[in-house]
Amino acid sequence: MDNIGTFLSVLAQGLPETLIATVGGIVLTILLSFAAGLALLAPSRPLRVISRIYVEGLRGTSEVVQLFWLFFALPVLVGFEIVPIWGGVLVLGLNHGAYGAEIVRGAIQSVPRAQYEGALALSLSPAQRMFRVILPQAVVEMIPPFNNLFIQLLKSTSILSFVFISEITRQATQILVPRFNPQVLQIFLLLLLVYLVLSLLITAGMRALERVASARLGRGPSPGAKRLASTGGQG
């Protein structure tokens, strides 16, 4: 186990790429989730159709193949290459945004109809009803499923190793494994632990967020915490 220090420092060199891909991917996921989720419920039919095509198209095809397509097929098509890490962020965000759109749609639809009627009875406009009344309540319901989604996204960053991005999985497979082959067991165990620590950080952040959001709805912290724990085991 005396090489642990070396292993950690080599993995650490890949950490910035993993973190950029994760954080960038999460930001893009959130933006796309809300845009597409709201569009799925829009009164305008073309908007709903476009959004539905995006969701089904991205959700129903392989993430790895999408990545290959962006990196190896698109440059042939349009004649320029995307900066690898941003290409990675794009695929991760587009992909998880498609799942997130359904989270947003489901959460909005779970807000009791009575809230919509209460807002309508006060003559609030459709946009005010959505952004002042419905969405703030729906966001609390979105946090646990988004926590799952963000953890999935974190783990998906490992596929970026296929397109030569030196994130932590590539550091392990391309640098550590060839050099310290007999210790492959420890290398991959360590790699798994790094992902675990990062995912626990995401969960901690999301729990804090859920506590704040629940408090703003005047709810106690315990039911939210319980719900979060019960949805944490997926994936």
Per CB under 8 A, residues contacting other proteins are 114-115, 117-126, 128, 132-133, 136-137, 216-219
Count CA atoms closer than 13 A to 141's CA, side-chain side: 16
Shortest Cβ 114–other proteins spacing (Å): 5
Q: Which residue lies nearer to other proteins by CB, 196 or 212?
A: 212
Minimum distance between the CB of residue 116 and other proteins, rounded to whole angstroms?
Answer: 9
220 in Cβ contact with 214 (< 8 Å) = yes
Q: For residues 179 and 216, which CB has a smaller minimum distance to other proteins in the complex?
A: 216
In angstroms, what is the minimal distance from the CB of 14 to other proteins? 41
CB of 119 to other proteins, least distance (A): 7
Contact assessment for residue 98 and residue 36, using Cβ atoms and an 8 Å cutoff: yes
Separation in Å, CA 159 to CA 42, 65, 81, 164, 173? 34, 10, 18, 10, 12
Q: How far apart are CA 22 and CA 133, in angstroms?
A: 31
16 or 220, CB closer to other proteins?
220
Cβ proximity to other proteins, 128 vs 234, nearer residue? 128
